[in-house]
Structure 1
Amino acid sequence: MQKAIGALQDQVAQKSSIALQAGLDPNGGHPGQVLVKLLDKVTKQVFFQYYAPPEQVVKSAQSNAGAALPPGSVVSSKA
C-alpha cells in the first residue's frame, strides 16, 4: 500500500501546486479504507478529502505508472 501511495504522490506532484496525502483512517471510523486528501503545497489547505478502497488506490497507481494522474482516477469507485 505504501508503494502505491508513493507512486500516486509522485504522479500528482509532477508540475503541480497540489499535493496528495493518503493513509489509513486515523480515527478508525472507516476501517479498511484509505483516506485520500488533495491539498495546496504552500498553505496546506485541504481541497478534497475522500475515503477509497485500498484496491482502487493500488489499481490507480499501477495503471498510471510513470504518467500524470488523470482526474478522478483514485476516486472513481465508491468507498
Structure 2
Amino acid sequence: FQVHVGHNKPSSRGTIRAKTNKIGDKPEIRFNYMQHQDDIEGFRACVRLTREIIDQKAMDPYRDSEIQPGEAVQSDEEI
C-alpha cells in the first residue's frame, strides 16, 4: 500500500501566470511549496503522524519498509 501525506491548510502561495496572450499556450505554474515555515512544520507533523499510524500492530501484516523519506530520516532537519 501507499500513503501520501500533505499539509491541508498551507500558508505558502504559488502563482499561475499567462506566458503569452495566446489561449492555447500553457501557463507558467509555480507551486511554491514550503515557502512558509508553518508549512514545513505542518508537513513534518504529517510525516510523524503517518509513521505513528503505520507503525500500529494492526498494520504489521501489510507494512514493508518506508520508501520515502526513509526510516533513517528522523530529525526535523532531515524531514
TM-score (norm 1): 0.23
Q: When you count strand as a share of all residues, which structure comes out higher?
A: 1
- Larger radius of gyration between Structure 1 and Structure 2: 2
TM-score (norm 2): 0.23
